[in-house]
Amino acid sequence: MNSSRRQLLHFSAAAAGLLAAARPSQAATGALLAPRLRPGDTLGLVSPANATFEREPLKLAIESLQALGFKVKPGEFVAARRGPFAGTDAQRAADINAMFADDAVAGVIALTGGSGCNRIVDKLDYELIRRKPKFFGGFSDLTSLVNAIHRQTGLVAFHCPVAGSEWNDYSVQNFRAVVMNAEAAVLRNPVVKPVDDVVAREERTSVIRAGKAQGPLVGGNLTVLASLAGTAYFPDCRGAVLFLEDINEYIYRIDRCLSTLRLNGALGALAGVVLGRFTKCEPGEGYGSLTLDEVFDDYFLPLNVPVYRGAAIGHIKRKLTVPVGAMAEMDAEAGTMRLLSPAVL
C-alpha cells in the first residue's frame, strides 16, 4: 500500500470517528438518548391527560419548574378543557408535537396525570421525536406515552414527577442526578431513621425473590400499562426489568391486570421485577379478597426471577426518577436499581 493511500485511509477512519462523536445520541445498548437538561433550559409544559380546573395549580407548576432553574414555555392548550381532559385529543397531541418541533425547547414535561393519554398515543409524531430527541417525563397516566415513545423511537423517556408534583428534596435530587447530571445513579429509597421506635417503618423494601438481574427498565402504572397490551405501544419485555405501581384499585383489579400481562407473555419474558407503591389498593366489596402479598406471590414467584417490593415509585410524595429504556441492574436484597450508564447525554 502506498503512503498516499495509507494516509487517505487514516484520514477516513479519523473522520468516521469524529462523525460518530458528533452524533452521540445513540447509546451502546441501542437506546436513543436525549441531551441532559441544564439550568436555563426551556421546558415545554404540556397537559396530555386531565384538565387543570383552577389557575393556581398551573401557576404552582410553573413556579416549581422555575425554582428548579428552568424557563417554562406553556403549551398552547395546556389550560384548555373538554370534559375531564385538557382540550381535545388533537389539541393535546398537537402541544406535544409542537414542543418536540421547537428547537428552543430542551425538554417536555407533563403538568398532571389523570386520564386521556391512551386517546392520543397514536397521534404523536414519532418520526419527529426520533429526529429531535428530547427529555420527556411524567408518571401515572403518562405511563402510556413514556412507554410508547420509547417503543416507537428508542428514546429513553422518564417516569418521574409531573410539573404539578411536590418537588421535595428527595425527588429533586433524584431528578437532577438522572436527568441533569447524567449520573449512572443508584436508584434507592430514602433512608428514614426510626423516631421513638426500635425499627424503621417507612420507606422499607421487602424481598419476594432474592437475586440480581440486568435489563432495560420498562413499566409504570400497572392499570395503564395493561391497557396497552396487544398494541404497538406496549413495551418489549424480553429480558427487561419491569417496574410497577398503582393507586386506588381494588385488589381484584390488580389481579386482573397482572393476569393480562401474564396471558400476553410479558411476565414470562422478564429478567426481574421491581414493585413500587400500591397506594390505597385494598379489598373491594364481596365475600373476601386475596391480599396483595398473595397476588404478588401468585404471579411473580413462578417466574424464578428477582423481585422486590416497596420502591419509591408511584403516587407518593418522595419519588424516584426512572428512565424507561435505560439498562440497569436490580438487586432485590439491597432494594436498588443501578443504572449501568447515564440515561442522558
Tell me how far apart the alpha carbons of residues 345 and 339 are, in angstroms, rounded to a whole number: 14
Contact 33, 343 (CB under 8 A): yes
Selected catalytic residue, list 140, 144, 165, 171: 140
Tell me how far apart the alpha carbons of residues 145 and 222 are, in angstroms, rounded to a whole number: 14
Can 341 be counted among the known catalytic residues?
A: no
pLDDT at 23 over 80: no
Residue 195 has what pLDDT?
87
Structure-model confidence comparison of residues 89 and 17, the more confident one: 89
Structure-model confidence comparison of residues 27 and 122, the more confident one: 122
Q: Which fold has domain 186-339?
A: Glucose Oxidase; domain 1 (3.50.30)
Residue (of 322, 74, 39, 61) closest to 175 by Cα position: 322
**Geometric angle at alpha carbon 313, from 307 and 316, rounded to 5°:** 135
pLDDT at 130 over 60: yes
Tell me how far apart the alpha carbons of residues 300 and 241 are, in angstroms, rounded to a whole number: 13
Q: Report how far apart, in Å, the C-alpha atoms of 284 and of each of 80, 98, 257, 290, 303 are.
A: 35, 43, 15, 10, 27
Q: What is the pLDDT of residues 295-308, one digit of tens each?
A: 999 999 999 999 99
Can 315 be counted among the known catalytic residues?
A: yes
Residue 100 has what pLDDT?
98
Q: Percent of the chain scored above 90 by pLDDT?
A: 88
Which grid cell is 336?
Answer: 436498588
Can 115 be counted among the known catalytic residues?
A: no
**Geometric angle at alpha carbon 66, from 64 and 69, rounded to 5°:** 115
Q: What is the pLDDT of residues 241-276, one digit of tens each?
A: 999 999 999 999 999 999 999 999 999 999 999 999
Contact 184, 339 (CB under 8 A): yes
Look up the CATH superfamily of 42-180: Murein tetrapeptidase LD-carboxypeptidase, N-terminal domain (3.40.50.10740)
Structure-model confidence comparison of residues 69 and 30, the more confident one: 69
Tell me how far apart the alpha carbons of residues 119 and 92 are, in angstroms, rounded to a whole number: 10
Structure-model confidence comparison of residues 177 and 9, the more confident one: 177
Instruction: Specify the range with the lowest mean pLDDT, choosing from 26-40, 64-78, 110-124, 190-204.
Output: 26-40
Beta bridge partners of 330: 213, 337
Which grid cell is 158?
Answer: 422518564
Selected catalytic residue, list 64, 144, 315, 329: 315
Q: What mean pLDDT do residues 280-285 have?
A: 91
Sequence-ordered list of residues with C-beta below 8 angstroms from that of 40, at least 6 positions apart, any chain: 69, 70, 71
Q: Give the domain ranges of the chain.
A: 42-180, 186-339
Residue 287 has what pLDDT?
75
Selected catalytic residue, list 150, 245, 249, 329: 245
Do β-strands 327-331 and 336-339 pair in parallel, antiparallel, or remain unpaired? antiparallel
